[in-house]
Amino acid sequence: MDPTQTPNGGGDGEVPLRNKPRTESISQKSDDSHTAADFIRDQMQLEADAREALPYSIENCTKPLGALRQSVFACLTCNPPPADLSEPYNAAGVCYACSVQCHGEHTLVEIFTKRDFTCDCGTTRFPSTSPCALRLNPETNTRGGVHSEEAEANNKYNQNFRNRFCGCECDYDPYQQKGTMFQCLGLGTVETGGCGEDWYHQGCLVGLGPKWDENIKKEKAAEMKVENGTLPTISEDVETEAPAPPAGENPAGEAEDEDDDPPPPPGFPGEDEFEGFICYKCVDAYPWIKRYAGTPGFLPPVFVQKPEPKSALESTPVVVKTEETTSKKRKADEDDDDMASQTSKRPRSEVGTTTTFDSTTPEAEQLSSETLPSDKCKYTALPPTPPGQFSLFFRDSSFRDSFCRCPACFPFLGNHPQLLEEEETYEPPVSQDGDGDAGSTTSNGGGSLLERGESALRNVDRVRAIEGVMAYNHLKDKLKPFFQQFAESGRAISAEDIKEYFAKLRGDDEAIREAGEGAARGGDHREEQSGY
Protein backbone atom coordinates (compact mmCIF):
# COMPACT_ATOMS: atom_id res chain seq x y z
CA MET A 1 0.00 0.00 0.00
CA ASP A 2 1.21 3.47 -0.89
CA PRO A 3 1.51 5.35 2.40
CA THR A 4 0.50 8.58 0.65
CA GLN A 5 -2.96 7.21 -0.18
CA THR A 6 -4.80 8.19 2.94
CA PRO A 7 -8.33 9.47 3.57
CA ASN A 8 -6.85 12.80 4.58
CA GLY A 9 -5.24 13.19 1.18
CA GLY A 10 -1.71 13.67 2.54
CA GLY A 11 1.06 14.37 -0.01
CA ASP A 12 4.67 13.29 -0.29
CA GLY A 13 6.03 15.68 2.34
CA GLU A 14 5.27 15.36 6.00
CA VAL A 15 3.70 12.38 7.68
CA PRO A 16 -0.10 12.63 7.45
CA LEU A 17 -2.03 13.84 10.47
CA ARG A 18 -3.74 10.47 10.61
CA ASN A 19 -0.53 8.95 11.86
CA LYS A 20 -0.71 10.73 15.22
CA PRO A 21 -3.82 8.97 16.48
CA ARG A 22 -2.44 5.76 14.96
CA THR A 23 0.71 5.96 17.07
CA GLU A 24 -1.36 6.83 20.11
CA SER A 25 -3.54 3.78 19.48
CA ILE A 26 -0.43 1.63 19.28
CA SER A 27 0.75 2.75 22.71
CA GLN A 28 -2.72 2.47 24.19
CA LYS A 29 -3.53 -0.94 22.81
CA SER A 30 -0.08 -2.37 23.33
CA ASP A 31 -0.72 -1.99 27.03
CA ASP A 32 -3.83 -4.12 26.69
CA SER A 33 -2.32 -6.68 24.35
CA HIS A 34 -0.41 -9.68 25.65
CA THR A 35 1.56 -12.41 24.00
CA ALA A 36 1.44 -15.98 25.22
CA ALA A 37 4.84 -15.47 26.86
CA ASP A 38 3.53 -12.36 28.63
CA PHE A 39 0.53 -14.25 29.92
CA ILE A 40 2.62 -17.15 31.20
CA ARG A 41 5.07 -14.78 32.86
CA ASP A 42 2.28 -12.81 34.53
CA GLN A 43 0.57 -16.00 35.64
CA MET A 44 3.77 -17.33 37.18
CA GLN A 45 4.27 -14.03 39.03
CA LEU A 46 0.74 -14.22 40.40
CA GLU A 47 1.38 -17.77 41.54
CA ALA A 48 4.64 -16.72 43.18
CA ASP A 49 2.79 -13.95 45.03
CA ALA A 50 0.15 -16.45 46.11
CA ARG A 51 2.79 -18.85 47.40
CA GLU A 52 4.37 -16.04 49.38
CA ALA A 53 1.02 -15.07 50.93
CA LEU A 54 -0.06 -18.69 51.48
CA PRO A 55 3.18 -20.63 51.81
CA TYR A 56 1.80 -23.79 53.39
CA SER A 57 0.28 -26.86 51.85
CA ILE A 58 -3.50 -26.78 51.46
CA GLU A 59 -4.00 -30.47 50.75
CA ASN A 60 -5.17 -31.79 54.13
CA CYS A 61 -7.71 -30.74 56.73
CA THR A 62 -6.40 -30.85 60.31
CA LYS A 63 -9.57 -32.34 61.85
CA PRO A 64 -8.19 -35.90 61.78
CA LEU A 65 -5.21 -34.66 63.82
CA GLY A 66 -7.48 -33.64 66.70
CA ALA A 67 -7.10 -30.61 68.95
CA LEU A 68 -4.12 -28.42 68.04
CA ARG A 69 -2.83 -24.96 68.63
CA GLN A 70 -3.21 -23.76 65.07
CA SER A 71 -4.24 -20.89 62.83
CA VAL A 72 -8.02 -20.60 62.78
CA PHE A 73 -10.38 -18.75 60.44
CA ALA A 74 -14.07 -17.96 60.80
CA CYS A 75 -16.28 -17.99 57.71
CA LEU A 76 -18.92 -15.27 57.85
CA THR A 77 -20.45 -16.41 54.56
CA CYS A 78 -21.32 -19.94 55.65
CA ASN A 79 -21.96 -19.00 59.26
CA PRO A 80 -23.03 -15.34 59.48
CA PRO A 81 -23.35 -13.98 63.02
CA PRO A 82 -26.57 -12.28 64.11
CA ALA A 83 -26.58 -8.52 64.25
CA ASP A 84 -27.83 -8.61 67.83
CA LEU A 85 -24.99 -9.66 70.13
CA SER A 86 -27.48 -10.97 72.67
CA GLU A 87 -28.73 -13.61 70.25
CA PRO A 88 -27.09 -17.04 70.45
CA TYR A 89 -24.51 -17.81 67.80
CA ASN A 90 -23.24 -21.22 66.79
CA ALA A 91 -19.66 -20.11 66.18
CA ALA A 92 -17.33 -22.18 64.02
CA GLY A 93 -13.74 -22.10 62.87
CA VAL A 94 -11.78 -23.78 60.09
CA CYS A 95 -8.14 -24.66 59.62
CA TYR A 96 -5.71 -23.04 57.21
CA ALA A 97 -6.21 -25.56 54.41
CA CYS A 98 -10.01 -25.47 54.60
CA SER A 99 -9.98 -21.67 54.61
CA VAL A 100 -8.45 -21.81 51.13
CA GLN A 101 -9.90 -24.97 49.61
CA CYS A 102 -13.39 -24.95 51.08
CA HIS A 103 -14.00 -21.25 51.82
CA GLY A 104 -11.61 -19.48 49.48
CA GLU A 105 -14.33 -17.37 47.85
CA HIS A 106 -16.02 -16.49 51.14
CA THR A 107 -15.68 -13.70 53.66
CA LEU A 108 -13.17 -14.93 56.22
CA VAL A 109 -11.94 -13.61 59.55
CA GLU A 110 -8.34 -14.45 60.33
CA ILE A 111 -8.30 -15.20 64.04
CA PHE A 112 -4.70 -16.42 64.08
CA THR A 113 -3.78 -19.06 66.64
CA LYS A 114 -6.14 -20.73 69.07
CA ARG A 115 -5.10 -23.53 71.39
CA ASP A 116 -6.75 -26.93 71.60
CA PHE A 117 -8.87 -26.28 68.53
CA THR A 118 -10.27 -28.84 66.11
CA CYS A 119 -11.37 -27.79 62.63
CA ASP A 120 -15.15 -27.41 62.33
CA CYS A 121 -15.32 -27.63 58.54
CA GLY A 122 -17.83 -30.25 57.41
CA THR A 123 -19.41 -30.56 60.85
CA THR A 124 -22.78 -29.69 62.27
CA ARG A 125 -21.56 -26.18 63.01
CA PHE A 126 -21.77 -25.48 59.28
CA PRO A 127 -24.75 -26.00 56.98
CA SER A 128 -24.73 -29.18 54.92
CA THR A 129 -24.38 -27.01 51.82
CA SER A 130 -20.84 -26.14 52.95
CA PRO A 131 -19.05 -29.48 52.97
CA CYS A 132 -15.36 -30.11 53.54
CA ALA A 133 -13.61 -30.74 50.24
CA LEU A 134 -10.45 -32.21 51.76
CA ARG A 135 -11.45 -35.04 54.09
CA LEU A 136 -12.34 -38.55 53.01
CA ASN A 137 -16.05 -39.20 52.82
CA PRO A 138 -16.66 -42.54 54.58
CA GLU A 139 -19.92 -43.12 52.70
CA THR A 140 -18.48 -42.75 49.21
CA ASN A 141 -14.84 -43.47 50.05
CA THR A 142 -13.91 -40.44 47.98
CA ARG A 143 -12.39 -37.13 48.90
CA GLY A 144 -14.74 -34.24 49.53
CA GLY A 145 -18.44 -33.80 50.17
CA VAL A 146 -18.06 -34.32 53.92
CA HIS A 147 -20.77 -32.61 55.95
CA SER A 148 -22.84 -32.92 59.12
CA GLU A 149 -20.13 -34.71 61.07
CA GLU A 150 -20.16 -34.35 64.84
CA ALA A 151 -18.36 -31.20 65.93
CA GLU A 152 -15.68 -31.24 68.62
CA ALA A 153 -17.36 -30.53 71.94
CA ASN A 154 -14.17 -29.22 73.59
CA ASN A 155 -13.65 -26.32 71.18
CA LYS A 156 -13.87 -22.94 72.87
CA TYR A 157 -15.12 -19.82 71.12
CA ASN A 158 -15.08 -16.12 71.86
CA GLN A 159 -16.19 -12.93 70.16
CA ASN A 160 -13.39 -13.23 67.59
CA PHE A 161 -15.51 -15.70 65.65
CA ARG A 162 -18.04 -12.90 65.16
CA ASN A 163 -15.26 -10.67 63.83
CA ARG A 164 -15.22 -8.74 67.11
CA PHE A 165 -12.04 -8.08 68.98
CA CYS A 166 -10.69 -6.36 72.07
CA GLY A 167 -12.47 -5.07 75.12
CA CYS A 168 -14.04 -2.36 72.97
CA GLU A 169 -15.80 -5.08 70.93
CA CYS A 170 -14.89 -3.52 67.61
CA ASP A 171 -15.49 -5.12 64.24
CA TYR A 172 -12.06 -5.74 62.81
CA ASP A 173 -11.39 -4.20 59.41
CA PRO A 174 -7.75 -4.52 58.28
CA TYR A 175 -8.20 -1.49 56.02
CA GLN A 176 -9.49 0.71 58.82
CA GLN A 177 -7.53 -0.49 61.85
CA LYS A 178 -4.47 1.51 62.78
CA GLY A 179 -1.61 0.53 65.01
CA THR A 180 -0.73 -2.86 66.44
CA MET A 181 -3.02 -5.25 68.26
CA PHE A 182 -1.65 -7.81 70.73
CA GLN A 183 -2.97 -11.25 71.57
CA CYS A 184 -3.45 -12.26 75.18
CA LEU A 185 -1.78 -15.46 76.33
CA GLY A 186 -5.23 -16.49 77.48
CA LEU A 187 -5.59 -18.05 80.90
CA GLY A 188 -9.33 -18.35 80.89
CA THR A 189 -12.12 -18.92 78.42
CA VAL A 190 -15.18 -16.76 78.09
CA GLU A 191 -17.06 -19.23 80.27
CA THR A 192 -14.56 -18.82 83.13
CA GLY A 193 -14.41 -15.03 82.88
CA GLY A 194 -11.30 -14.82 80.70
CA CYS A 195 -10.93 -13.59 77.15
CA GLY A 196 -10.17 -16.79 75.24
CA GLU A 197 -6.96 -15.45 73.64
CA ASP A 198 -8.52 -12.23 72.42
CA TRP A 199 -6.68 -9.41 70.65
CA TYR A 200 -6.37 -5.95 72.19
CA HIS A 201 -5.59 -2.40 71.16
CA GLN A 202 -2.84 -0.72 73.11
CA GLY A 203 -5.15 2.09 74.13
CA CYS A 204 -7.82 -0.28 75.39
CA LEU A 205 -5.36 -2.07 77.68
CA VAL A 206 -4.77 1.19 79.52
CA GLY A 207 -8.39 2.31 79.38
CA LEU A 208 -7.96 5.03 76.76
CA GLY A 209 -9.89 3.32 73.98
CA PRO A 210 -8.81 2.33 70.45
CA LYS A 211 -8.69 5.93 69.18
CA TRP A 212 -6.91 7.40 72.16
CA ASP A 213 -4.34 9.19 70.00
CA GLU A 214 -7.06 11.03 68.08
CA ASN A 215 -8.64 12.17 71.32
CA ILE A 216 -5.28 13.34 72.64
CA LYS A 217 -4.69 15.34 69.48
CA LYS A 218 -8.06 17.03 69.84
CA GLU A 219 -7.41 17.83 73.50
CA LYS A 220 -3.98 19.26 72.70
CA ALA A 221 -5.44 21.34 69.90
CA ALA A 222 -8.05 22.73 72.29
CA GLU A 223 -5.40 23.46 74.91
CA MET A 224 -3.27 25.25 72.33
CA LYS A 225 -6.17 27.51 71.42
CA VAL A 226 -6.72 28.39 75.06
CA GLU A 227 -3.05 29.04 75.66
CA ASN A 228 -2.70 31.11 72.54
CA GLY A 229 -5.66 33.21 73.60
CA THR A 230 -4.46 33.88 77.16
CA LEU A 231 -0.69 33.65 77.30
CA PRO A 232 1.63 34.78 74.51
CA THR A 233 4.18 32.06 75.28
CA ILE A 234 6.21 31.90 72.12
CA SER A 235 8.44 29.02 73.19
CA GLU A 236 5.57 26.61 73.73
CA ASP A 237 3.91 27.68 70.50
CA VAL A 238 7.10 27.05 68.60
CA GLU A 239 7.43 23.61 70.10
CA THR A 240 3.88 22.63 69.41
CA GLU A 241 3.88 24.19 65.98
CA ALA A 242 7.15 22.57 64.99
CA PRO A 243 5.41 19.59 63.40
CA ALA A 244 2.71 21.88 61.99
CA PRO A 245 4.68 23.53 59.14
CA PRO A 246 5.41 20.28 57.35
CA ALA A 247 1.75 19.45 57.76
CA GLY A 248 1.10 22.00 55.05
CA GLU A 249 3.28 20.03 52.71
CA ASN A 250 2.68 16.56 54.09
CA PRO A 251 -0.86 16.57 55.42
CA ALA A 252 -1.42 13.23 53.77
CA GLY A 253 2.11 12.01 54.39
CA GLU A 254 3.05 12.56 58.02
CA ALA A 255 -0.54 12.25 59.19
CA GLU A 256 -0.88 8.89 57.55
CA ASP A 257 2.43 7.74 59.02
CA GLU A 258 1.29 8.75 62.49
CA ASP A 259 -2.06 7.04 62.05
CA ASP A 260 -0.50 3.86 60.70
CA ASP A 261 1.99 3.55 63.54
CA PRO A 262 0.89 5.71 66.47
CA PRO A 263 3.13 5.87 69.54
CA PRO A 264 2.23 3.70 72.54
CA PRO A 265 -0.29 5.32 74.88
CA PRO A 266 0.74 6.58 78.32
CA GLY A 267 1.28 3.68 80.67
CA PHE A 268 1.80 1.12 77.90
CA PRO A 269 5.28 -0.45 77.70
CA GLY A 270 7.40 -0.29 74.58
CA GLU A 271 7.03 -3.18 72.17
CA ASP A 272 10.65 -4.21 72.72
CA GLU A 273 10.14 -4.43 76.48
CA PHE A 274 7.83 -7.44 76.53
CA GLU A 275 7.17 -10.66 74.68
CA GLY A 276 3.55 -11.19 75.66
CA PHE A 277 0.91 -10.40 78.22
CA ILE A 278 -2.10 -11.68 80.13
CA CYS A 279 -5.06 -9.32 79.82
CA TYR A 280 -6.97 -7.80 82.71
CA LYS A 281 -9.90 -10.15 82.13
CA CYS A 282 -7.79 -13.26 82.59
CA VAL A 283 -5.92 -11.69 85.51
CA ASP A 284 -9.23 -10.94 87.20
CA ALA A 285 -10.48 -14.46 86.49
CA TYR A 286 -7.35 -15.95 88.11
CA PRO A 287 -6.27 -13.26 90.60
CA TRP A 288 -3.60 -15.42 92.26
CA ILE A 289 -1.31 -14.40 89.41
CA LYS A 290 -1.54 -10.71 90.28
CA ARG A 291 1.18 -10.90 92.90
CA TYR A 292 3.75 -11.70 90.23
CA ALA A 293 3.43 -8.20 88.74
CA GLY A 294 6.78 -6.41 88.91
CA THR A 295 8.67 -9.52 90.02
CA PRO A 296 11.56 -11.03 88.01
CA GLY A 297 10.35 -11.90 84.52
CA PHE A 298 7.38 -9.52 84.68
CA LEU A 299 6.86 -5.84 84.07
CA PRO A 300 5.09 -3.64 86.60
CA PRO A 301 1.30 -3.82 86.30
CA VAL A 302 -0.22 -2.02 83.33
CA PHE A 303 -3.36 -0.58 84.83
CA VAL A 304 -6.70 -0.15 83.16
CA GLN A 305 -7.25 3.46 84.02
CA LYS A 306 -10.80 4.45 84.81
CA PRO A 307 -12.56 7.81 85.07
CA GLU A 308 -12.77 9.06 88.62
CA PRO A 309 -16.55 9.66 88.63
CA LYS A 310 -17.16 5.97 88.11
CA SER A 311 -14.93 4.81 90.95
CA ALA A 312 -17.66 5.17 93.55
CA LEU A 313 -20.10 3.12 91.50
CA GLU A 314 -17.87 0.15 90.80
CA SER A 315 -19.09 -1.83 93.80
CA THR A 316 -22.53 -2.35 92.26
CA PRO A 317 -21.76 -4.07 88.94
CA VAL A 318 -19.61 -6.74 90.58
CA VAL A 319 -21.54 -9.54 88.93
CA VAL A 320 -21.00 -8.39 85.36
CA LYS A 321 -17.29 -9.02 85.25
CA THR A 322 -16.75 -9.47 81.54
CA GLU A 323 -19.49 -7.26 80.16
CA GLU A 324 -18.30 -4.17 81.99
CA THR A 325 -14.85 -4.42 80.50
CA THR A 326 -15.83 -5.33 76.99
CA SER A 327 -18.67 -2.92 76.46
CA LYS A 328 -17.11 0.39 77.51
CA LYS A 329 -14.31 2.51 76.13
CA ARG A 330 -12.67 4.17 79.05
CA LYS A 331 -10.81 7.45 79.23
CA ALA A 332 -7.98 7.84 81.68
CA ASP A 333 -6.02 10.48 83.49
CA GLU A 334 -2.46 10.82 82.32
CA ASP A 335 -0.58 8.59 84.74
CA ASP A 336 2.62 6.67 84.16
CA ASP A 337 3.38 6.18 87.84
CA ASP A 338 1.86 2.91 89.03
CA MET A 339 1.96 3.81 92.72
CA ALA A 340 0.21 7.13 92.17
CA SER A 341 -2.58 5.49 90.21
CA GLN A 342 -3.35 2.65 92.61
CA THR A 343 -5.55 4.73 94.90
CA SER A 344 -7.88 5.85 92.10
CA LYS A 345 -8.27 2.49 90.30
CA ARG A 346 -10.24 -0.41 91.67
CA PRO A 347 -10.86 -3.87 90.28
CA ARG A 348 -14.40 -4.74 89.31
CA SER A 349 -14.65 -7.46 91.93
CA GLU A 350 -13.30 -5.53 94.91
CA VAL A 351 -15.50 -4.31 97.74
CA GLY A 352 -12.84 -2.27 99.50
CA THR A 353 -9.33 -1.19 98.71
CA THR A 354 -7.81 -3.87 100.92
CA THR A 355 -10.10 -6.80 100.08
CA THR A 356 -9.28 -7.31 96.45
CA PHE A 357 -9.93 -11.05 96.37
CA ASP A 358 -12.62 -11.45 99.00
CA SER A 359 -15.70 -11.91 96.80
CA THR A 360 -14.40 -13.85 93.81
CA THR A 361 -11.05 -15.32 94.74
CA PRO A 362 -11.19 -18.66 96.53
CA GLU A 363 -7.94 -19.50 94.78
CA ALA A 364 -6.23 -16.52 96.35
CA GLU A 365 -7.45 -17.59 99.77
CA GLN A 366 -5.86 -21.00 99.29
CA LEU A 367 -2.59 -19.29 98.43
CA SER A 368 -2.60 -17.08 101.51
CA SER A 369 0.28 -17.20 103.93
CA GLU A 370 -1.86 -19.02 106.46
CA THR A 371 -2.15 -22.14 104.30
CA LEU A 372 1.29 -22.23 102.67
CA PRO A 373 4.58 -22.92 104.43
CA SER A 374 6.69 -19.80 104.01
CA ASP A 375 9.99 -21.71 104.03
CA LYS A 376 9.09 -23.70 100.89
CA CYS A 377 6.66 -21.48 99.01
CA LYS A 378 8.02 -18.56 97.01
CA TYR A 379 4.54 -17.18 96.59
CA THR A 380 4.35 -15.91 100.17
CA ALA A 381 7.55 -13.94 99.68
CA LEU A 382 6.07 -11.99 96.76
CA PRO A 383 5.11 -8.34 97.26
CA PRO A 384 1.49 -7.57 98.14
CA THR A 385 -1.06 -7.65 95.39
CA PRO A 386 -1.29 -4.27 93.66
CA PRO A 387 -4.83 -2.94 94.08
CA GLY A 388 -6.53 -2.11 90.82
CA GLN A 389 -7.40 -3.74 87.54
CA PHE A 390 -4.39 -4.37 85.34
CA SER A 391 -2.81 -6.57 82.70
CA LEU A 392 0.30 -8.59 83.40
CA PHE A 393 3.13 -8.27 80.87
CA PHE A 394 6.06 -10.68 80.80
CA ARG A 395 9.49 -9.84 79.44
CA ASP A 396 10.31 -13.10 77.65
CA SER A 397 9.65 -16.82 77.77
CA SER A 398 11.76 -17.16 80.94
CA PHE A 399 8.87 -15.71 82.95
CA ARG A 400 7.70 -19.30 83.49
CA ASP A 401 10.70 -19.94 85.72
CA SER A 402 9.46 -17.30 88.18
CA PHE A 403 6.33 -19.21 89.17
CA CYS A 404 6.34 -21.05 92.44
CA ARG A 405 5.96 -24.78 91.91
CA CYS A 406 5.53 -25.95 95.45
CA PRO A 407 2.86 -28.60 96.14
CA ALA A 408 0.33 -25.93 97.04
CA CYS A 409 0.97 -23.66 94.03
CA PHE A 410 1.57 -26.19 91.30
CA PRO A 411 -2.12 -27.16 90.88
CA PHE A 412 -2.87 -23.62 89.77
CA LEU A 413 -0.17 -23.85 87.12
CA GLY A 414 -1.29 -27.33 86.11
CA ASN A 415 -4.62 -25.94 84.98
CA HIS A 416 -2.73 -23.71 82.51
CA PRO A 417 -0.05 -25.69 80.66
CA GLN A 418 0.93 -22.53 78.78
CA LEU A 419 2.36 -21.25 82.07
CA LEU A 420 4.55 -24.31 82.49
CA GLU A 421 6.18 -24.50 79.08
CA GLU A 422 6.11 -22.76 75.75
CA GLU A 423 3.42 -24.08 73.43
CA GLU A 424 4.01 -25.54 70.00
CA THR A 425 1.91 -24.16 67.18
CA TYR A 426 1.01 -26.52 64.37
CA GLU A 427 2.05 -25.40 60.91
CA PRO A 428 1.15 -27.34 57.77
CA PRO A 429 4.08 -28.50 55.63
CA VAL A 430 5.45 -25.82 53.38
CA SER A 431 4.05 -26.06 49.87
CA GLN A 432 6.54 -26.90 47.14
CA ASP A 433 7.38 -23.90 44.97
CA GLY A 434 7.74 -23.79 41.24
CA ASP A 435 11.27 -25.17 41.41
CA GLY A 436 10.21 -28.04 43.61
CA ASP A 437 8.19 -31.09 42.82
CA ALA A 438 7.02 -30.08 39.38
CA GLY A 439 6.18 -33.64 38.58
CA SER A 440 3.60 -33.97 41.29
CA THR A 441 0.35 -35.40 40.04
CA THR A 442 -1.82 -34.20 42.90
CA SER A 443 -4.37 -31.55 42.23
CA ASN A 444 -2.78 -29.25 44.74
CA GLY A 445 0.84 -30.20 44.16
CA GLY A 446 3.76 -27.88 43.68
CA GLY A 447 4.82 -26.10 40.53
CA SER A 448 3.13 -23.51 38.39
CA LEU A 449 -0.13 -24.12 36.57
CA LEU A 450 1.83 -24.55 33.35
CA GLU A 451 4.15 -27.14 34.90
CA ARG A 452 1.27 -28.97 36.56
CA GLY A 453 -0.63 -28.95 33.27
CA GLU A 454 2.35 -30.45 31.48
CA SER A 455 2.70 -32.99 34.27
CA ALA A 456 -0.97 -33.93 33.97
CA LEU A 457 -0.58 -34.27 30.22
CA ARG A 458 2.34 -36.65 30.69
CA ASN A 459 0.24 -38.82 32.99
CA VAL A 460 -2.97 -38.83 30.97
CA ASP A 461 -4.29 -41.99 29.31
CA ARG A 462 -2.47 -42.68 26.02
CA VAL A 463 -5.64 -42.80 23.90
CA ARG A 464 -6.91 -39.52 25.36
CA ALA A 465 -3.48 -37.96 24.95
CA ILE A 466 -3.44 -38.84 21.25
CA GLU A 467 -6.96 -37.50 20.79
CA GLY A 468 -5.99 -34.31 22.60
CA VAL A 469 -2.91 -33.80 20.43
CA MET A 470 -4.98 -34.35 17.29
CA ALA A 471 -7.54 -31.79 18.47
CA TYR A 472 -4.75 -29.36 19.25
CA ASN A 473 -3.21 -29.77 15.80
CA HIS A 474 -6.61 -29.30 14.18
CA LEU A 475 -7.18 -26.08 16.13
CA LYS A 476 -3.67 -24.90 15.27
CA ASP A 477 -4.31 -25.42 11.54
CA LYS A 478 -7.51 -23.41 11.86
CA LEU A 479 -5.87 -20.57 13.76
CA LYS A 480 -2.76 -20.26 11.59
CA PRO A 481 -4.40 -18.40 8.67
CA PHE A 482 -6.31 -16.24 11.16
CA PHE A 483 -3.08 -15.09 12.82
CA GLN A 484 -1.30 -14.84 9.46
CA GLN A 485 -3.54 -12.08 8.16
CA PHE A 486 -2.77 -9.92 11.19
CA ALA A 487 0.94 -10.60 10.89
CA GLU A 488 0.94 -9.52 7.26
CA SER A 489 -1.14 -6.38 7.80
CA GLY A 490 0.55 -5.34 11.02
CA ARG A 491 -2.77 -5.02 12.85
CA ALA A 492 -3.09 -5.84 16.51
CA ILE A 493 -5.55 -8.61 17.30
CA SER A 494 -8.45 -7.30 19.36
CA ALA A 495 -10.78 -9.21 21.64
CA GLU A 496 -13.59 -8.58 19.15
CA ASP A 497 -11.53 -10.21 16.38
CA ILE A 498 -11.04 -13.34 18.45
CA LYS A 499 -14.71 -13.49 19.45
CA GLU A 500 -15.80 -13.06 15.85
CA TYR A 501 -13.47 -15.78 14.60
CA PHE A 502 -14.53 -18.37 17.17
CA ALA A 503 -18.15 -17.46 16.59
CA LYS A 504 -17.60 -18.32 12.91
CA LEU A 505 -16.09 -21.65 13.93
CA ARG A 506 -19.16 -22.38 16.04
CA GLY A 507 -21.53 -21.06 13.38
CA ASP A 508 -23.07 -18.62 15.84
CA ASP A 509 -24.62 -15.92 13.64
CA GLU A 510 -25.69 -13.68 16.49
CA ALA A 511 -22.25 -13.79 18.07
CA ILE A 512 -20.69 -13.02 14.68
CA ARG A 513 -22.90 -9.94 14.30
CA GLU A 514 -22.16 -8.70 17.84
CA ALA A 515 -18.44 -9.25 17.43
CA GLY A 516 -18.49 -7.48 14.07
CA GLU A 517 -20.28 -4.49 15.56
CA GLY A 518 -17.78 -4.38 18.40
CA ALA A 519 -14.89 -4.53 15.98
CA ALA A 520 -16.44 -1.76 13.87
CA ARG A 521 -16.83 0.49 16.90
CA GLY A 522 -13.23 0.00 17.94
CA GLY A 523 -11.70 -0.58 14.55
CA ASP A 524 -10.71 2.99 13.77
CA HIS A 525 -8.24 3.15 16.60
CA ARG A 526 -7.11 -0.45 16.39
CA GLU A 527 -5.78 -0.26 12.87
CA GLU A 528 -2.02 -0.23 12.40
CA GLN A 529 0.26 0.05 9.40
CA SER A 530 3.83 -1.01 9.05
CA GLY A 531 6.76 0.01 6.92
CA TYR A 532 7.03 3.79 7.19
Poorest-pLDDT segment among 112-116, 141-145, 471-475, 511-515: 511-515
DSSP letter (8 states) at residue 267: T
Question: What pLDDT is attached to residue 461?
Answer: 75
Whether pLDDT at 351 is above 50: no
Burial class for 67, CB neighbours closer than 10 Å (0-12, 13-18, 19+): middle
8 A C-beta contact, residue 102 and residue 132? yes
**Confidence at residue 252, expressed as pLDDT on a 0 to 100 scale:** 47
> What pLDDT is attached to residue 423?
93
- The whole-number pLDDT of residue 303 equals 95
Residue 306: per-residue pLDDT: 61
- At 514, the pLDDT band (50, 70, 90 cuts) reads low
Asked if pLDDT for residue 317 goes beyond 60, the answer is no
Q: What is the pLDDT of residue 507?
A: 75
What is the model's pLDDT at position 530?
A: 43
Do 178 and 259 touch, CB atoms closer than 8 A? yes
Contact residues for 83 (Cβ-Cβ < 8 A; gap 6+)? none
Cα(203)–Cα(216) distance, integer angstroms? 11
Pick from 125-134, 184-193, 521-530: least confident: 521-530
Query: Which of 158-162, 257-261, 345-349, 445-449 has the least mean pLDDT?
Result: 345-349
Asked whether the predicted pLDDT for residue 347 surpasses 90, the reply is no
Confidence of residue 513 (pLDDT cuts 50, 70, 90): low
Residue 252 DSSP SS3: coil
Q: What does DSSP assign to residue 222? A: H
Q: DSSP secondary structure string, 98-114? A: HHHHTTTTS-EEEEEEE
Helix axes 234-241, 212-230, angle to 10 degrees: 150
Per-residue H/E/C for 316-369: HHHCCHHHHHHCCCCCCCCCCCHHHHHHHCCCCCCCCCCCCCCCCCHHHHHCCC
| Local structure of residue 266 (DSSP, 8 states) | T
Q: Given this model, what pLDDT does residue 281 score?
A: 96
Residue pLDDT, tens place only, 494-506: 888 888 888 887 7
pTM for the predicted model, two decimal places: 0.62
| Most confident listed range (5-19, 206-220, 393-407, 449-463) | 393-407
d(CA 136, CA 126): 17
The ranges assigned to domains in the chain are: 52-162, 204-208+265-419, 490-532
Select from 141, 119, 147, 13 the least CA-distant residue to 61. 119
Highest mean pLDDT among 188-202, 214-228, 427-441: 188-202
